Each structure stands twice: as C-alpha cells, then as structure tokens.
Amino acid sequence: MAQTDVIPVPPLTTTEPRPMTRLRRHAPRGKLTTRSQIALQALCLLIAFTVLFPIVWIFSLALDPRDLARPDGLIPPGASLDAFARVIAQPTSDEISLIELARNSFVLATFVAGFSVFVGVLAAYAFSRLKFRGRELLMIVILGVLMLPAVATIAPLFIMLNGLSNVQLPLIGEIEIRRSLIGVGLAIVSGALPFAIWNLKGYLDTIPKELEEAAAVDGCTQNQTFFKIVLPLATPALAVTAFLGFVAGWTDFYFVSIFLNSPDEGFTLSLALNKMVGSFGQTKWSDFAAFAILFAAPVSLVFFFFQKYIVGGLAVGGVKG
Amino acid sequence: MTAPAMSLPQPRRRRLTPDARTAVLYLLPAFLVMGVITFYPLLFQTWMSFTDFGLKNLNPRNPAPNLVGLDNYIQIIQSKLNIPNFEFLRLLFFNLWWAFSNVVIHVILGVGIALLLNTNGLRFRRFYRALFILPVIIPPLIVATVWRYLFDDSNGAINTVLQGIGVLFKIPPETFKIDWLGQVNDPIPFIPLPLAYFALLTANSWLGWPLNAVVATGALQSVPPDLYEAAEMDGANAWQRFKVVTLPFLRPAMVPYAIYGFVITFNLFFLSFFMSGGGPFGRTELFVTQAYKLVNDFQLYGVAAAFSVILFFLLLGITLITNRLARATASYAE
C-alpha cells in the first residue's frame, strides 16, 4: 500500500572513503551537486506551479469584490468575503440556501456511508475469513459490478423507483421514493456497496488470523469474534471506506439530477453547482468560485489531513465516478 | 422428518458446514440489497433493451411497452438513433482513444515525477509530496467545473494568461479569444480530434498523474538500495539502472493500476459532461455521458437500456483483454 509520508532517510554522509571511486562518476548517494539540486528544484517548482494554478486562481477570484472575470494579484485589492455571503444566502435562482443544500448533501452522504459500510463489512468478513462453496464466484460477481459505471443501471433504477409512488413509511409518511433522497441514496449505494465490500475485504485479509483463533480457543463464538476482535481492528479501514462512501454521496450528480425535479425534494450542492455552470452568463464568477470552495472544503480538508490512510484505499479500489 | 426405522439409505443431503452457515448469515444483507438495487435492475434492463420503453410507459396505467426485438441494438450500432450528433463508431473510437491517451500521459508523468521526488538529497521532498496530492483531494465534479471556467473563451484563466504573455511580445490580446471547448475546426491538420479534446486532456492530466505518482512512489520505495549500488559497481549507466533495477519493481504496481486507470478514464463522466458538454457536435461525447443523456434529455429508456447492455459487454471485453495483456507482460518480466 502506497504511503506518501514515509520517506526512507538516506544516509546523508558516508564517513568511510569508498573504494573504487573511479567508477562513481557522480556524487555519492544522498548528495546532489548544487547545480543538479537547483535544476531539480526548478523542475519541482514548475510542477508545483501547474498544480497550484487553478486552485490559487479560484481562491483569488472568490475574494475579489469587483467581480472581475480574472483576478489581478494573489489577494485582490479590497478583498472581501461578500461572494461567500451571497452564495450562502442563495447560490442560484432557486429559492434554496446553501445551508439547506449542504444539509441535503450531508444527509445523503451519511446514509450512503453508513449503509454501505455496515452491510459491506459483514459481507467482507465472510469473504475474507469463511470457507464456503461459491465463494470465488460471488467475489467475481462483486468485482464485475464494481467495474460497471454508475450510469449503467440508471435507466432501470429510474423506472423501478418511479414505480414506487405513494409509499407509506414510518415517521416520514407518504412519499414518492424516486423523488426523494431515499431513492437517490439507494441508487448511490448500488455503486458504493460493492466498493465497500471489496475495499474492506482487502483490509481484513491483512489482519492476522491468529488473534481470532486465540479468541476461538478462549470460547468466543464466531459472532463474538467478529464484533469484539475483528471490528475494532478494522476501524481505520471502516473509517476510510465510510469517508469514500460519504464523498460519493456528497458529490453525486447523476442520480440527484435525474431523480429530483424540484428544490423541495432535496436538491443538493451538486445540482446547484451544475445550475451555476449552466448559466455562466448570469452567474457571477466570484460566486461560482466561492461556491466551489465551500462545496469542496469539507471533504478536501478531511482528505488532506488523513491522506496517508485514504490514498492507499483509493489506489487499490477507487469509487465510481 | 426422517423415521429412524427406515432402512432405505438417506438421500444425501448437502449439510452446510458451520462456516457456510455463518457465511450465509453475513452475506445475506449485502446480497439482499444488491439483489434489489443491482441484480434485478440489470435483468430488468436487459428486458427493457428489447422494448420501446419511453416516456409514456412511466405511467403504470398506460399499456406495457412493445417488444421490438433487437431494434434498439441495431439502431445504436447503425447510428440511426433519432438524436443529434450520434455516431456509434466515432463514439467507440473516441472513447477508447480518450482512455488510452490519458493513461499513457498519467503513467509517464506519474512515474517521472515519482522518480524526481525519489532523488536522494533533493530538498523539500515532504513539502512537494504534500503539495502534489492536491488534485486528488478535490472532488472531480468540482475540478471539472473549475476547468470549465478556466477554459472559458471570453473570461477564462487560460486565455487571460495567454493574453498577458502575448502583451509582452506585442501580440494583440484579441488573438487569444480561443474557443477552447467549442471550436469546430481541428487544431492539428490530419488528426481528427477537436480542440476540446486537448482541453479535456489537459484537465485530466492535472487530475490524474498525482495518484499514479503515489503508486509509483510506493513501488520505488520497495527497491532495496543495494541493488542500485551493485548495478553501479557493474558499471551500469543511469538508463541501464532504471531498466534493470527500477522497472522490474515498478511494473507489478503500475500495470494493474494502469489497467484500472484505463477503465476509470473510459467511464469518466464529469470532464466531458461539464467542460465540453460532449461538443463540438458530440465529438467529445463518451459512452457514459451519452447514456446519461439518453435517459435525462431524450427519455429513450429502452434505447438507453440497450446502450448500457452494449457498454457492459464492452467493459467486459476490455477487462478480459487488459487482464490477458497484464499476464503477458508479467511473464515477460520474469
């Protein structure tokens, strides 16, 4: 698993003189000549510039009070948070505030994360630890579903969930499933669940079996072993998988845009963003930039601070986009 | 209900082992859920693909859709759908080329930058590594809209920067009103790719290389330093050391990741959808964006179902071929 922060410390100086110096045409390991250090630093800075360019530009745009199409300077003169205030109040022409949009996105994301991890870890445990007929076949089925893009089942899910109108649910009352966040959430889970199973199975495989065998010797049943030994040990993977499920729900676009018709059915941040992009003529640039920042910030910050746990999982499985 | 006195041999019942019984219990929730929201929809979709399911059939009181046999499939493959700018073969070739060209760029940039950051003695490595992860942590949906803005023809950042540079060379700013995402004429003669493709490629390169670099870095750090020293002793030059020492360690990590990247890029919705909208004239459309539009814009549910079935077999084919390629290169490496 790739870890970004573990950098092997090279021996900085080799004290003993090396034999056969004639063969070494360049500086000893761990040292660079000043010239190549400068050249490589220049290259790194160039890459850093390309990475940072869109990000800095958007930040600068969001702070600019004059709604210029382009920022002139890192922090524009008279920088203000007006654009943020505007988009928090009402980002698009729909009568819905960013708080409500974010709440809908949050509800959706939490549902996807919780549901897929809870159901996923049970299946992952069975695949990782138990021997039974058809295990390999079922795993291939899961992998096959994982390869399918989310769009591949969009038509039948739309038709099926559309048929579930006037459903009575406890606490909520009568709803049309398709035009609700419940329908959207179920549709997103169809992609998030196979990923959760696959990702968690990969992690459970790395937990040594001896612990469970010891627990079994001490008289633990299979269920007790699962809940008391395996689940606590798998907490990091559960958190990462839940986070990736959360991101899938937080940024889902296909299902919300196809399923939901009006803002009161639970419009999310992604729909507002789509609307802002669709009307670039009328949208203020600074508003778009501010909205993009507020939309990305919650997941990007979590990602940034926990990247060493998350990136590994991403590189192995990834979420459907 | 077996009578113990019966002398007939018992029919051999397949008794579940304790493991299998627990397995059923643990797998049941997942497979119930997937049965309802994945497997049944896939079957339902297959049936839908043989019908003329349309907007009118959404109302359950209307008569069921008609079976039309393979009509949907034939219409798709012969590009005879009643929607603008749809050409099946062009879509297929563009989508394959899109995935291939992106992965090549991602892997080259990823490995190159990983090697750069793995240089012994390079200062501020931790800083660069932290910085270069930024494209990965921003949701792709937002990345796509931001690049849509950057490439905007009248106000976008790219044109603005080009105008700024142009002033230094006394080039009038009007030169750089480039319509990156909508220009109809191909920028390079004899290469039938619109300018929008290159804009998408730029955005996706920005988005894609860092994760490749992470994977490559992981592989590079597993190379024992002694091997380099041994190769150096034997008089191998930098390129030979890369080929003989580094590459065999990179290959097992990068080949599966490149295959995975190919499938992900093949199905990459957001850039095509938000940046070019599939334009100009549907020439940067991908299978996934087309499938989405068949449902959302055209409400041709039967056609969309057939389209998804075709996509399913296409992806299956890609997976089988790439797996075979991966195995071929693996045995070559050994």
A164, A157 contact by CB (below 8 A): no
Residues of chain B neighbouring A51 (CB-CB closer than 8 A): 131-132, 134-135, 206, 210
3-state helix, strand, coil in chain A (%, to 5): 65, 0, 35
Among A2-6, A120-124, A254-258, B134-138, the range of highest mean pLDDT: A120-124
Q: Name the percent of chain B lying above pLDDT 70.
A: 93
Residues B5-59: tens digit of each pLDDT? 445 555 555 566 777 888 888 999 999 999 988 899 999 999 999 999 888 888 7
The C-alpha torsion from B71 through B75 and B80 to B84, rounded to 10°, is 110
Q: Average pLDDT for residues A16-23, to the nearest whole number?
A: 43
d(CA B155, CA B181): 13
Per the model's pLDDT, the better-predicted residue between B89 and B330 turns out to be B89
pLDDT recorded at residue A249: 92
The pair of structure tokens assigned to A250 is 């937080």
Q: Name the percent of chain A lying above pLDDT 70.
A: 81
pLDDT at B93 over 90: yes
Q: Which residue of B has its CA nearest to A250?
A: B139
Q: Average pLDDT for residues A230-246, to the nearest whole number?
A: 90
pLDDT at B252 over 60: yes
pLDDT recorded at residue B20: 80
User: Do the chains contact at A51 and B134, CB–CB below 8 Å?
Assistant: yes
The minimum CA-CA distance between A171 and chain B, rounded to whole Å, is 22
Q: Average pLDDT for residues A200-212, to the nearest whole number?
A: 86
Residues of chain B neighbouring A1 (CB-CB closer than 8 A): 218
Q: Average pLDDT for residues A40-47, to the nearest whole number?
A: 93
**Closest by alpha carbon to B283, among B154, B156, B183, B175?**
B183
Q: How many CB pairs under 8 A join A and B?
A: 283
User: Do the chains contact at B215 and A315, CB–CB below 8 Å?
Assistant: yes
Burial A35-60 (b: 16+ CB within 10 A, else e): eeeeebeeebeebbeebeebbebbbb
Backbone angles phi, psi at B286, to 5 degrees: -115, 170
Within 10 angstroms of residue A89's Cβ, the number of other Cβ atoms is 10
ipTM associated with this complex = 0.83
Residues A46-79: tens digit of each pLDDT? 999 999 999 988 888 888 766 555 555 666 666 7
pLDDT recorded at residue A280: 67
Query: Quick check: A155 contacting B, CB < 8 Å?
Result: yes
Residues A253-304: tens digit of each pLDDT? 989 998 888 888 889 899 888 888 877 667 778 888 889 999 999 999 998 8
Backbone angles phi, psi at A173, to 5 degrees: 95, -155
Backbone angles phi, psi at A55, to 5 degrees: -70, -50
What Rg do the C-alpha atoms of chain A give, in angstroms?
Answer: 26
pLDDT at A20 over 50: no
pLDDT at A4 over 50: no
Count helices and strands (H / E) in chain B: 15, 0
Residues B271-309: tens digit of each pLDDT? 999 998 887 888 999 999 999 999 988 889 999 999 999
Chain center to CA of B52: 30
The pair of structure tokens assigned to B75 is 């219409």
List Cβ<8 Å contacts ≥24 apart for B122-126: B122/A32, B122/A37, B122/A40, B122/A41, B122/A44, B123/A37, B123/A41, B124/A41, B124/A44, B125/A7, B126/A5, B126/A7
Beta-bridge partners for A175? A167
**Summary mean pLDDT of chain A:** 80
Beta-bridge partners for B51? B67
User: Do the chains contact at A153 and B17, CB–CB below 8 Å?
Assistant: no
d(CA A174, CA A188): 22
pLDDT at A243 over 70: yes
Question: At a CB cut-off of 8 Å and minimum separation 6, what does A115 contact?
Answer: A185, A189, A192, A193
